[in-house]
Amino acid sequence: MQVVMPQLGETVAEGTVTAWRKKVGEHVEAGEPLFDVSTDKVETEVPAPASGVLSAILVSEGTTVKVGVTLATIGEPAPAQSGAPAEERLSPVVRKLLAEHGLKPGDVAGTGAEGRITRRDVLDHLDRNKPAAAAADERLPLNPVRKRTAEQTTAAWRSIPHVLQAVEVDFQAVESARGGLTWLPFVAHAVCEAIASFPHVNASLDGDALVVHRRINLGIAVDLGEGGLIVPVVKDAGVKSLPDLAREIRALAESARARKLRPDDVTGGTYTITNNGRFGTLLTAAIILPPQVAILSLDGVVKKPVAKGDSVVVHPVGVLAQSFDHRALDGAYSAAFLRRLKEILEGKDWTAALGGG
């Protein structure tokens, strides 16, 4: 008989075992108090659902589990063998082993004198019938980077009215020029050019005021794997050539992964880009980093059919998604910025831009 965590109320989903009234191997009667449970609503004792021997306790005191989880097992009392009580034919060690593992004497073949069950018999039986081991849960404390990210994103999500807009971009012009570079520096350069026409996306909220920044300090989100996420900042990105921008983005990313960033490398950002494209994502609704008012996600760029006049060609196409703070920007302004960004990426002479430094 399995003893499970009972449902102690319609809205109660879990409970904490605070005390066991019986020990493994002890006899229990149906209705007799077996263990105590505490929930966020009640603290009560729970009776045994059946009579028998408490064969095993699977959840220790102080552990919180969901309703329906098995806490213990109750087995039938061991039957007498050869006219003698089972207690007389089994050693205390064997009795304890059988009780701990929910076994009856009849489950184990004895090899001792007159067929008595020995400790080795029980251990051999357990070894032969050992279930496949389940992987244990691993508890991983949050590292400082992950804890800080959790704090910032939680506060941002609660306080900022996020709105998401996205545009599909034909990256053929970039593809024709980029060589071994990734898409990211081209998007970063285009963002800086588009901000010149729509400066309010490069701003911060300060109380009841919108502070529009003249410098464009681009935050570039860098994945640290299990170490979390960090956002180093390319200072004055708006006045850098495309090659210089590409070099600095790469250098900051390498420093971030080598844990060599300086404090100044992660401060002063005015607009942020997060690049999930290498994982093949379609669209990401990124969380804004306050006091900034917008963040752009570059997602996967894949080959797709594109209509060109009356013909169809296959070009690399990707989605750029911007989350913006509706307190600072309206949808029309953000959409116009994205349209300008798309125009730049699709229409700029990127070969010439790469020759700029």
Report the catalytic residues.
326, 330
- Report which DSSP code applies to 24: T
Contact (CB, 8 A) for 66 and 5: yes
Three-state secondary structure call for residue 105 = helix
Alpha carbons 105 and 109: distance in angstroms, whole number: 8
Three-state secondary structure call for residue 226 = helix
Alpha carbons 11 and 16: distance in angstroms, whole number: 15
Contact (CB, 8 A) for 211 and 203: yes
Contact (CB, 8 A) for 273 and 194: no
Q: Which two tokens stand for residue 230?
A: 């960090």
Alpha carbons 147 and 228: distance in angstroms, whole number: 9
Q: Among 351, 357, 25, 345, which residue's Cα sits nearest to residue 171? A: 345
Token pair 């070099």 in the structure block, residue: 247
